[in-house]
Amino acid sequence: MEKKKQILSCIQPTGDMHFGNYFGAIKNWVELQDQYDCIYGVVNYHAMTMPYSPKKLRENTWALVFNLIATGIKPESIFIQSLIPEHAELCWVFNCFTSYGQLTRMTQFKDKSAQNKELGADSFISAGLLDYPVLQAADILIYKADYVPVGVDQEQHLELSRNIAQRFNNQVGKEYFVLPESLYTEVPKVRSTADPTRKMSKSAGEKHYINVFADEKRIRKQIRSAVTDTGDTPEGKMSPGVQNLFELLKASEKMEAHAQLMKDYEGGQLKYVDLKDAVADALVEISQRFIAKKEELNSNKKEVKNQIKYSSSIIRQRAQQTLKEVKDLAGLMNVKF
Ligand code: AMP
């Protein structure tokens, strides 16, 4: 049987999971599990690159693990980054194969350091923020990933991973690392229902995202108050708010309702309340399923945590093997394990 291609993707533990995260990333991760060998990392080292609280980081890391399992990721595919310290060691090796200039030109570094500056007196731009894409290269290359499902915003980082892999391969005179490719899947861009001109995101505040574990009442309230028409959409064009509601219906796979409501829209008969009810029903159905699964996981917290520590230890064996080979190739002594 042909070996399945390796997929690697990571997510930072930064709090609630919203429908933008779910429809834009996690749902795709769940579906990829059928076709590929998937490894998904909860990258807590990365979450230290912006101002953070240690207590919150620990809580958010476990919360994200539980959320991922509740939304359909297999526990055996999940690792917690800090349980595999080889990522950080490979990052050091890679630092020595990375151009400093290239790092300073990364768009995300520029954006995030500007964000930090906006924090004012507390602003602090760490070397970790600059180095973040090198750690990301280590996350990917340590598992010899063939594909990385990325959004356009991450393409520049993946290019850096390929540059590092190539530079390393050239230095050691061997095609050791696989050059990872991006895996594009059509995923929706979900917008804030409170302000459909911006994307759904936690950073803009609570009304700008819908938590996938929110209770029915809250979801219905958020959808009922979704902005539809602000009166400034050109004649004959669908407003961003209405587009977003249709997008949510499609992402929830309610194609029949989508088709019917679209027909109403095209015939000039659409009642926004019907569209909103259909979207709310669809999101509530999904969230109820996730809440039930999470309750089940919460009643076995210790077992779930042990399971993830175990899966991390199994995934770690692969990372250890790569790091051992890298150190041999790079002229570094190895610890026996
Ligand atoms: P974040 O926690 O904001 O970094 O989001 C994690 C991942 O979720 C991102 O890499 C995106 O792929 C996805 N994502 C976040 N917000 C949205 C959104 N509004 N629409 C679609 N995908 C999103």
Q: Return the ligand 1 atom nearest residue 188 CA.
A: 21
Q: Return the ligand 1 atom nearest residue 200 CA.
A: 19
My answer on whether 292 and 221 are in the same domain is yes
pTM: 0.94
Q: How far apart are CA 155 and CA 146, in angstroms?
A: 15
The answer to whether residues 162 and 148 touch, using CB atoms and an 8 Å cutoff, is no
My answer on whether 173 and 71 are in the same domain is yes
Domain around 80: 6-187+300-330
Shortest CA distance to 67 belongs to which of 27, 24, 38, 32? 27
The position carrying tokens 């490894």 is 39
My answer on whether 65 and 183 are in the same domain is yes
State the distance from the centre of ligand 1 to the C-alpha of 266, rounded, in angstroms: 31
State the distance from the centre of ligand 1 to the C-alpha of 329, rounded, in angstroms: 37
196 part of a folded domain: no
335 part of a folded domain: no
Torsion sign (Cα): 55, 60, 61, 63: positive
Is 202 tagged catalytic? yes
pLDDT digit string (tens) for the chain, length 337 residues: 788 999 999 999 998 999 999 999 999 999 999 999 999 999 999 999 988 999 999 999 999 999 999 999 999 999 999 999 999 999 999 999 999 999 999 998 998 888 877 776 567 889 999 999 999 999 999 999 999 998 777 888 999 999 999 999 999 999 999 999 999 888 889 999 999 999 999 988 999 999 999 999 999 999 999 999 877 777 778 999 999 999 999 999 999 999 999 999 999 999 999 999 999 999 999 999 999 999 999 999 999 999 999 999 999 999 999 999 999 999 999 987 5
My answer on whether 131 and 245 are in the same domain is no
Q: State the catalytic residue, choosing from 112, 293, 305, 327.
A: 112
244 part of a folded domain: yes
Q: CATH code at 279? A: 1.10.240.10
For ligand 1, whether the C-beta of 198 sits within 6 Å is no
The answer to whether residues 304 and 297 touch, using CB atoms and an 8 Å cutoff, is yes
Report how many domains make up the chain: 2
My answer on whether 292 and 306 are in the same domain is no
Is 263 tagged catalytic? no
Q: Return the ligand 1 atom nearest residue 192 CA.
A: 19
My answer on whether 179 and 314 are in the same domain is yes
192 part of a folded domain: no
Q: Calculate Rg over the CA atoms of the chain.
A: 22
My answer on whether 177 and 248 are in the same domain is no
193 part of a folded domain: no
For ligand 1, whether the C-beta of 151 sits within 6 Å is yes
81 part of a folded domain: yes
My answer on whether 322 and 268 are in the same domain is no
In order of 49, 160, 174, 175, 330, the CA distances from 170 in angstroms are 30, 15, 7, 8, 11
124 part of a folded domain: yes
My answer on whether 181 and 229 are in the same domain is no
- What values do phi and psi take at 37, rounded to 5? -85, 110
Q: Is residue 78 helix, strand or coil?
A: strand
For ligand 1, whether the C-beta of 199 sits within 6 Å is yes
My answer on whether 32 and 132 are in the same domain is yes
My answer on whether 272 and 150 are in the same domain is no
The answer to whether residues 197 and 204 touch, using CB atoms and an 8 Å cutoff, is no
State the distance from the centre of ligand 1 to the C-alpha of 286, rounded, in angstroms: 18
Structure tokens at 151: 């959004």
My answer on whether 260 and 318 are in the same domain is no
For ligand 1, whether the C-beta of 21 sits within 6 Å is yes
Q: CATH code at 44? A: 3.40.50.620
